[in-house]
Structures are given as C-alpha cells and as structure tokens.
Structure 1
Amino acid sequence: MMTANKRIRILLADDEPNILQFLELGLLSEGYEVQTAQNGREALEKVEAFKPHVAILDVMMPEMNGFEVCHTLKESSEKIAVIMLTAKDEVGDRVKGLSLGADDYMAKPFEFEELLARIQARLRNQFPDLLGSVVYGPFRIDDRKNEILYQERVLELSPTEYELLKYLVMNHGAVLSKSLILDRVWGYDFGGENNIVEVYIRSLREKLNDKEHRLIRTLRGAGYRVDLP
C-alpha cells in the first residue's frame, strides 16, 4: 500500500453518494486527509476552512456546477489543483473545463488507480515540497530525486525508464495495455512503434533481476501488470 503524506488535503465534490463514499474511503486508506461536499456551494464553503491541495469536482452538481466551482477556485487561488469528473467524454466539456483552469479531466467510469496517479501528478507539479518518498511494497519512489529504490537498492534508470517503472508501480494490480502506456509515458503525440514498450520492459526486468517475469507480468493480448508481494 502507498504511504502518503498526511498533510495532503483533498476535497471531493459529487452529488452521487455512492461515488463520494467510494472515493472518500479509497483516499483515506491511501493516507490523505479528505473532506466531501454534495453540491458546488458546499464545496466552496469547505475550501475556506479546509484549504485543500487538490479539489476533485464532478461537473453536474446542484447549486453550482463543477465548471462554476472550478472558475471560482482558480480566480481565488492558483495553488489548488483541480481535477474534473464527468459522465460525459465529450471534447467540448473537456475544452471548457481546461479553459476555466482545470488541471486535469477524467470521464466516468474510471479506475481508482488512475485517479491516484492523476492526483500524484498534480501534486508533483504544483506541490513538490509536500511529497517525500512514496512506498509501494518493495519500491520507494522519490520524485524530488527522480529516484526509485527496489528492496532499498537504487536503480540506475534513464528518464524514460523512471517514468515507465513509476507508472507501472503506481498502478500495480491493474492491467495496462501498450497503447495506454504509450499515451501516459511517451505522450499522445508519440509517432513511433509501440514495440518500444517491449524494449523498455525488457530493460526494466533486467535491472530488477526479474528473469521469470514474476514482478512485471505479461498478459498476452492485454498488456502488462506489476504484482507486488
């Protein structure tokens, strides 16, 4: 399990109680401080006292929608990272949210592990001093040093190997397709061949002494999955 810094505060705003409870329990189990709101006005009221580092906002909320809340937050403080959630995966909604200052955008349904990765990305970019090293089983990831330790041994990694291994470890237990890995590690505009993923996976296995592929598993036709002890 991840060991997160308990100083990191996250505000969840969604009018669907089941989603709100699921996300709250998941983030609490990861070590974050969490408060929730079921409408836009309540979210803004809680920001005043709670002062979250990250606000996760559903677009379709009563009182004030997520777009309005995002706009208000970004006008008052650039220090709040905003991740928008929506049931729609429409380009127009995404453009509108980003134009209002949202830092990221996720369409429902989504995997909780992906949300965790998006939160970590926002924290690295906007609150790097809050993040110490993060532990996942035998791995310790330290973004301040751009360093990953495996069983307390520092791995000698290229920048791309570092990003790839971090993405795999942070999403441990989830099956990650080659196309998803390319999008997240190399970027949407990557124009090379997707066999580059196989090349880098092979290199990581050598550096991890994972000769039998028990750590980074290949699921034929599906992708890769990191299994942690």
Structure 2
Amino acid sequence: MRGRHAAALLWLALLALPAAAQEYPALHSVTGVAADDVLNIRSTPSASAEVIGTLAPDQTGVEVILADESGKWGQVNSGEQSGWAALRYLSLQPQNDWRMMHGQALDCFGTEPFWSLTLDDTARMTTPEGPVTGFTLLARQRAAGHSGKSGFHAVHHPSNETSVPGTASLSGTLTSQHCTDGMSDRSYGISIDLLHLRGTGQLDVLTGCCSLVP
C-alpha cells in the first residue's frame, strides 16, 4: 500500500511539471480562420487592443518571435512594427533547427554600415561596396551547453584554393534573444555578432538581427 501511495505521489508530481516550452523564433501557419476572414494582429496581447495588421486565413511562413507570459499570444511583425496574434490560430510548421548545419535559412542584416547576410547551406553577404560572393560555409553548430546560441564559419576562396594570402572569411555568433534594428518598431528573435575579415586584412566587427526564411 505504501508503495502504491508513493507511486501515486510521483505521478501527480510529474503531472504538475510544466510542459516543454516551445522554442522561439519559429515559423507558423494560420489555421482555424474562415476563408472569408483574417487573423488580426493587435498592438498588445489583448483581444480588445487596436488592430495594426492582419494575416490571411491561409498564410504560411509567419515568424512568431516569442510568446507572452500567458502563452496565448505570439509576437509577429506587420509592416514596420510588431504586434500580437492569437496562438490558437497559429500552428507550428515543420522546420529544421536554425542553429545547425543545413538548418533553417536565415536573413540577417545590420545598420551603420548597412549590410546583409543570407545564411543557409552557403553564406552570401552584401556590404555598402556591393555583394561579396563565393563564401563556402564550413561549419554551423549549436553551442555546447547553450541551446539558444550557435556559431558559424565561412571562407571566401576567389582562386578556389583553400589557403592563400588574402582569403576573406566570416565568423559569427547567433543568439536567440530579442533584437531590434534601431530604425523601425519591428522586432526579431535572433541577434548576430559578425566578424568579416576582408581579403585586404581589414576586420569589420558587425552586429545585427536575423529572421527565419519561410
């Protein structure tokens, strides 16, 4: 009897444990909305808040940046600002881990100076001087002991050789955290710290934000 009582207490304790938290950012699809209706994006996580945008009833690739404390509302971007949509109408899409090699593609950017970087199975960068092509992504790996952080490394081989003087490289750290571009009211769920070593030997230390590519 005593053993059964202990087992029952253990079962109740397991039931009381919180469910595994959904990791953000993540791509979602609108679901459960009538074909002639839309899903409202509101200024705050409240059904009575001002509507600042809408999502189509069949829209996919909606990036949810984070959830509010209640777990009922997800922060999304609409135009040049971010707002909140009801998570009960957003279903998680199948997707690869953005922190890993061959994972979810990312679009990253920064200001002052303006630059952009697309990171998928390759690395493609644009700077104020123009596009920098030919990067080979060598590694993209989640940080040990830190589920919300990863690093990557890419090299540029203009002569298709692996080690020549003047070879440019990109090394970066991606972190799952709130990020803003400083120029709009949009929000992002991933920040990036980027080191761009140019073929001339000049080192650019850059920071910015990233979003998931649908």
TM normalised by structure 1 equals 0.26
Higher strand content, 1 or 2: 2
Larger Rg: 2
Higher helix content, 1 or 2: 1
TM normalised by structure 2 equals 0.27
- Indicate the structure whose relative CO is greater, using CA pairs within 8 Å and at least 6 residues apart: 2
